Amino acid sequence: MTPNKNGYYGKFGGAYIPEMLYPNVKYLKENYLKIIQSDSFQKEFKSLLKDYVGRPSPLYFAERLSKKYDTNIYLKREDLNHTGAHKINNTIGQILLAQELGKKRIIAETGAGQHGVATATVCALMGLECIVYMGEVDIERQAPNVSRMKMLGAEVRPAKSGSRTLKDATNEAIRDWIAHPVDTHYIIGSVVGPHPYPDMVALFQSVISEEMKWQLKEHVGRETPDSIIACVGGGSNAAGAFYHYLKDDKVRLIAVEAAGLGINTGESAATSVLGSEGVIHGSRTLLMQTDDGQIIEPYSISAGLDYPGIGPLHAHLIKTGRAEVLSATDDEALQAGYLLSKIEGIIPALESAHALAALEMMRFAKDEIVVVNLSGRGDKDLATYIKHQNRFE
């Protein structure tokens, strides 16, 4: 599903940016498709995905998990990618694009640090300067990822204003881009931001469902599953997993948001349920905001889902009924994470554990083919899992 020429999916999307950024974003908008669709770009992109990231990621038939739910569950193993999640698919694409555009300097913002690590990784790979903005509070909360970024050669700059979290880091990154319009590319980490970012990031992540098609054909003799389940923070792993099935109405698309301590506790990140229409990070979408338009701080046990908005593509898919939304609480995700570890030997990222938690909430036919997008691995979340161990063993 591609947005219209102004970047709208239905009424969501667009590019709401300061005037000073018009030339940058316009240049990107006019060139991204031409570059990405060129043979030479595709050749380099595919080659790095194969040899550096380790793609294709396996599509694994989870036999014991399938037995438990009396259906057929396949896990798309994005957790096996280099750096441990799907985010690298996008940063590889964007660093190649930045090179094509002649950019010498990369900036990014990060909350949990996962996108910062994926960006620092590709900058090291290409020898480009890398500056990652991160809220001061997040720098403290996510110390291991800060160390990783530094080891990879990136400079981590603290955002010291406001709540000193993700949205403040985003403001700093935008300020930097305004100050360095010519030599700098801004790598956004999800299907959010002004057009063309949501479309561009979805295109890079679409490799997930591109592979799913031929992998399912090998496993079950047809390219289409009955249901696809993915967690949604900004929505990039879900966009990638849904992409090649968006037009096939027979495929159920299930987006799982983080309910935190519970949707109505005030400690939640269930954006599509609690959110209303507004503008965040440069696009019109659903976001958690007060009556006078102040962003409400989200909460989830999983740092990657702890985002107050949702990409415009997902806002559109949900509002038009093409995708269904479920939400999983912290405890439901922890439970699902422990279950997968115990019966399949796979420790999932807490984000991905939210997608797995949806299996408990749904009913499946015995012959149904269900794909869960396992967006990342759980090594980064071990401390959190262990903290709650006695309640879930």
Ligand X SMILES: *Cc1c(COP(=O)(O)O)cnc(C)c1O
Which one, of 228, 227, 235, lies nearest residue 272 by Cα? 235
Considering the complex, state which of residue 71 and residue 327 has its C-beta at the smaller distance from ligand X. 327
Which one, of 304, 287, 139, lies nearest residue 230 by Cα? 304
Smallest distance from the beta carbon of 242 to ligand X, in angstroms?
A: 11
Considering the complex, state which of residue 72 and residue 281 has its C-beta at the smaller distance from ligand X. 281
Smallest distance from the beta carbon of 9 to ligand X, in angstroms?
A: 16
Residues linked to residue 130 through DSSP beta bridges, in sequence order: 106
Residue 34 annotated to the active site = no
Considering the complex, state which of residue 216 and residue 353 has its C-beta at the smaller distance from ligand X. 353
At residue 212, what is the residue type? M
Residues linked to residue 376 through DSSP beta bridges, in sequence order: 85
Which one, of 350, 370, 351, lies nearest residue 361 by Cα? 370
Residue 375 annotated to the active site = yes
Considering the complex, state which of residue 36 and residue 232 has its C-beta at the smaller distance from ligand X. 232
The catalytically annotated residue of 109, 257, 332, 344 is: 109
The catalytically annotated residue of 76, 87, 167, 380 is: 87
Cβ neighbours for 212, distance < 8 A, ≥ 6 positions apart: 59, 76, 225, 241, 244, 371
If one counts every other C-beta atom within 10 angstroms of the C-beta of residue 127, the result is 8
The residue written with tokens 């995700």 in the block is: 333
Smallest distance from the beta carbon of 27 to ligand X, in angstroms?
A: 25
Smallest distance from the beta carbon of 182 to ligand X, in angstroms?
A: 29
Smallest distance from the beta carbon of 140 to ligand X, in angstroms?
A: 19
State the Cα–Cα distance between residues 193 and 281, nearest whole angstrom: 5
State the Cα–Cα distance between residues 100 and 87, nearest whole angstrom: 20
Smallest distance from the beta carbon of 191 to ligand X, in angstroms?
A: 6
Structural contact between residues 286 and 277, judged by C-beta atoms closer than 8 angstroms: yes
Residues linked to residue 284 through DSSP beta bridges, in sequence order: 13, 279
At residue 229, what is the residue type? I
State the Cα–Cα distance between residues 227 and 318, nearest whole angstrom: 15
Considering the complex, state which of residue 72 and residue 375 has its C-beta at the smaller distance from ligand X. 375
The residue written with tokens 């403001």 in the block is: 171
3 state SS of 61: strand
State the Cα–Cα distance between residues 154 and 144, nearest whole angstrom: 14
Total length of the chain: 393
Considering the complex, state which of residue 72 and residue 156 has its C-beta at the smaller distance from ligand X. 156
State the Cα–Cα distance between residues 327 and 331, nearest whole angstrom: 12
The residue at minimum Cβ distance from ligand X is 376
Smallest distance from the beta carbon of 382 to ligand X, in angstroms?
A: 14
DSSP states of 315-348 = HHHHHTTSEEEEEEEHHHHHHHHHHHHHHHS--B
Smallest distance from the beta carbon of 295 to ligand X, in angstroms?
A: 18
Considering the complex, state which of residue 13 and residue 100 has its C-beta at the smaller distance from ligand X. 13
Residue 87 annotated to the active site = yes
State the Cα–Cα distance between residues 226 and 367, nearest whole angstrom: 10
By CB under 6 A, name the binding residues for ligand X.
Answer: 85, 87, 114, 190, 231-237, 304-305, 349, 351-352, 375-376
The catalytically annotated residue of 227, 352, 375, 380 is: 375
Considering the complex, state which of residue 86 and residue 284 has its C-beta at the smaller distance from ligand X. 86
Alpha helices in 78-196 (DSSP H): 87-100, 114-126, 136-141, 143-151, 166-179
Catalytic residues: 87, 109, 375
